[in-house]
């Protein structure tokens, strides 16, 4: 019986750690998508850039924990530059135009990163502190994964507080609802949007730094990660913070337990379940009250 308990507990922790990664990754995408109504398919590139920055940072022997701010800042900087040109010119355009623009850019970034970082698979040298295990009912569970779960919870909470409980968050939400009115209050909405994009790209980079320990880094990972982020955001429901959290948990548990119960049909069962969910709730798990005009 303790065997069974331990097995269940570890698989639940596995699911939670994967959900944490999905959450970190999905949050960056959903912030821009739900708050700015901008489809940013370069998000996977920010993730991969963050992974590479963190791996090279950890390879230099500098204090390991600084790898995460370094990844956040470099991806954020890339986001800031892209916001100036060409994202800003596309906010008012239809989604299809945004998709074409950002997908094209993501292909260019993929080639640039392959050129700059090489095509080989890279993995980070994790500090000894994160390499240990804890025993749950006699079953080992990696500390690094507990670290992921913790990071996901802390960052998620911080972002929720920032967007939902601060004046800055209120300004942002107001600017999305009615940009003109906010402008008449003397607030430069262009700066607000710029900051949101920096935050989103930075979160992408940060999740890349955290995820590198689990997923490694190689050309093509950007697309895989983007797909997972899109699934997370769509299942959770566009336009709400709680939705992304719910989406990350549902997708994480679905993908993990489908592997536990139906290993040979893991992807089929997981995505069939998610499809069914979307058919029952077409706008996702959490739908915010409609406020679009």
Partner 1 sequence: MNLPRPQQRIEEHGHASGDSGGVRITRRRALAGLGTATLLPALAAPALAQPRPLRIGMITSLSGPFTALGESMRAGMRLAIAQADDRFAGRPVELIVEDDQARPDDGVRKARKLIGQDKVDLLCGVISSGVALALRDVVTEARMPTFLLGSANDLARKAASPFILRPTKTNWMLGSTAARWSHEKHPGTRVITAASDYAAGREFVGDFAQTYQGLGGQIGRQFWTPLGTADFGPLLTAIAAERPESIYVFFAGSDAVRFLRQWKEYRLAGRIRLMGTGACFDQEDVLPAVGDAALGAVNTFHQSPTAPASAALVAAYRATGKPLPGEFSTTGYVCGQVLRAAAERTGGDPAADWARTRKVLFDASVETAFGAMPFDPRNGQAILDIHVNEVRASEGGLVNTVVHTFPQLRDPGPDA
State yes or no: cis peptide before 71, omega within 30 of 0: no
Q: How many helices (H) and strands (E) does the chain have?
A: 12, 2
The H or E element spanning position 231 is: helix 221-236
- Residue closer to partner 1 by CB (options 14, 40) is 14
Q: Which of 53, 101, 151, 215 binds partner 1 (CB under 8 A)?
A: 215
Per-residue binding letters, 142-171, with partner 1 (x by CB under 8 A): x-xx--------------------------
Q: Name which of 242, 241, 272 is nearest 254 in CA terms.
A: 272
CA distance linking residue 146 with residue 140, whole number of Å: 12
Q: Which of 149, 153, 171, 266 binds partner 1 (CB under 8 A)?
A: 266
Based on the shown chain and the rule CB under 8 A, indicate whether residue 20 belongs to the binding site for partner 1. Answer: no
CA distance linking residue 209 with residue 14, whole number of Å: 19
The H or E element spanning position 134 is: strand 133-136
Based on the shown chain and the rule CB under 8 A, indicate whether residue 57 belongs to the binding site for partner 1. Answer: no
Q: Which stretch binds partner 1 (CB under 8 A): 46-54, 156-164, 210-218, 274-282?
A: 210-218
Q: Name which of 169, 176, 230, 178 is nearest 199 in CA terms.
A: 169
In 3-state terms the chain splits into helix, strand, coil percentages (rounded to 5) of 75, 5, 20
How near is the Cβ of 34 to partner 1 at its closest, in Å?
Answer: 24
Total Cβ atoms within 10 A of residue 192: 20
Residues 6+ apart with CB under 8 A from 243: 30, 233, 236, 237, 284, 285, 286, 287, 288
- Residue closer to partner 1 by CB (options 117, 193) is 117
How near is the Cβ of 179 to partner 1 at its closest, in Å?
Answer: 35
Based on the shown chain and the rule CB under 8 A, indicate whether residue 259 belongs to the binding site for partner 1. Answer: yes
Provide the greatest CA pair distance for the chain: 66
How near is the Cβ of 184 to partner 1 at its closest, in Å?
Answer: 45
Contacts of partner 1 in 117-136 (CB under 8 A): 119-123, 125, 131, 133
Based on the shown chain and the rule CB under 8 A, indicate whether residue 214 belongs to the binding site for partner 1. Answer: yes
Q: Which of 94, 140, 164, 166 binds partner 1 (CB under 8 A)?
A: 140
- Residue closer to partner 1 by CB (options 73, 122) is 122
Contacting positions for partner 1 (CB under 8 A): 3, 7, 10-11, 14-15, 17-18, 107, 110-111, 114, 119-123, 125, 131, 133, 139-142, 144-145, 214-216, 218-221, 223-224, 228, 255-257, 259-260, 263-264, 266-267
């Amino acid at each position: 019986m303790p065997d069974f308990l331990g097995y269940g507990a570890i698989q639940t922790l596995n699911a939670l750690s994967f959900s944490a990664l999905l959450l970190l990754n999905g949050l960056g995408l959903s912030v821009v998508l739900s708050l700015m109504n901008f489809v940013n398919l370069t998000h996977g590139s920010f993730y991969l850039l963050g992974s590479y920055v963190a791996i090279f940072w950890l390879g230099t022997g500098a204090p390991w924990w600084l790898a995460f701010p370094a990844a956040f800042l470099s991806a954020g900087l890339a986001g800031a530059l892209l916001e100036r040109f060409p994202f800003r010119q596309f906010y008012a355009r239809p989604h299809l135009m945004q998709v074409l623009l950002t997908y094209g850019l993501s292909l260019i970034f993929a080639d640039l990163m392959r050129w700059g970082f090489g095509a080989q698979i890279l993995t980070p040298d994790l500090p000894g502190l994160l390499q240990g295990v804890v025993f749950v009912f006699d079953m080992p569970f990696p500390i690094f994964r507990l670290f992921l779960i913790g990071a996901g919870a802390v960052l998620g909470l911080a972002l929720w507080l920032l967007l939902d409980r601060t004046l800055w968050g209120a300004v942002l939400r107001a600017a999305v609802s009615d940009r003109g009115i906010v402008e008449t209050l003397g607030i430069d909405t262009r700066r607000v949007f710029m900051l949101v994009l920096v935050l989103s790209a930075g979160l992408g980079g940060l999740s890349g730094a955290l995820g590198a320990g689990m997923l490694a880094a190689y050309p093509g990972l950007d697309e895989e990660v983007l797909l997972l982020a899109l699934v997370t955001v769509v299942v959770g429901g566009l336009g709400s913070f709680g939705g992304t959290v719910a989406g990350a948990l549902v997708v994480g548990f679905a993908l993990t337990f489908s592997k536990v119960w139906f290993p040979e049909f893991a992807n089929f069962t997981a995505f069939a379940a998610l499809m069914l969910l979307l058919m029952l709730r077409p706008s996702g798990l959490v739908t915010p009250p409609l406020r679009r005009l």
